[in-house]
Amino acid sequence: QWSTLAVDQAHPPPPTDPPPEEARIEGALEAINGGTWVVGGTSVTVTGTTEIKDSPQVGNQVRVRALRHQDGNLIATRIEKR
């Protein structure tokens, strides 16, 4: 007779991705290419939910709060001029 434990061991639950880590970046806003901004040499993705304060332009010093996903992508949650 099969037990529930034996079935669970034979089919473990799929692994879950760890939650993204918070990251902070400060530096010059070097480029804006659509949804990708380059800050201090680091590319970050800007989405419709990214909070952008003070209308930063290329050349401005900015502070970025982002979420670093397991694949290494940085998704900006907030960008503001310093």
Q: What is the pLDDT of residues 4-62, one digit of tens each?
A: 555 555 556 667 778 999 999 999 999 999 999 999 999 999 999 999 999 999 999 99
Contact 47, 76 (CB under 8 A): yes
Predicted TM-score of the model (pTM): 0.79
Rama region for 54: left / alpha / beta (φ>0; ψ in -120 to 50; rest) = left
Rama region for 34: left / alpha / beta (φ>0; ψ in -120 to 50; rest) = left
